[in-house]
Amino acid sequence: MLEAPQWTERFVLFYFSGEEGRTRVPEVFPAHHEYTNSFRAEQPGELLFTGPFAEPAPGQPGAMNIFATREAAEVFAASDPFVTEGVVSSWAVRTWLTGAD
């Protein structure tokens, strides 16, 4: 009999931005980058991957971040300059199940 798959939970933070918000990325990016580095130093192992999509599409997320815990994803988004300065119009966290290594 086949064993049930063993899943690892990860939490994907999606960022959504309108055209106006995307035009502000160069202005706000230095603060966002500093915040990201500080977050990683203060909460090692929580933020696993981060980055924008190469080809943003209307109605689709413009960036995603992968976290070890939902709490870390929500804490990160709440204080990220991209969110607080209006570059990101909305965000959402989804649970992602990854397969065994």
Q: What are the pLDDT digits (tens) for 5-54?
A: 789 999 999 999 988 888 999 999 999 999 999 999 999 999 999 999 99
SS3 percent helix, strand, coil of the chain, rounded to 5, is 35, 30, 35
Q: Select the more confidently predicted residue: 57 or 12.
A: 12
Instruction: Convert 41-79 to b/e letters by CB count within 10 Å (16 or more is b).
Output: eebeebbeebeeeeeeeeeebbbbbbbbeeebbeebbee
Q: What are the pLDDT digits (tens) for 71-91?
A: 999 999 999 999 999 999 999
Say whether pLDDT at 100 is over 70: no
pTM value? 0.89
Type of residue found at 24: R
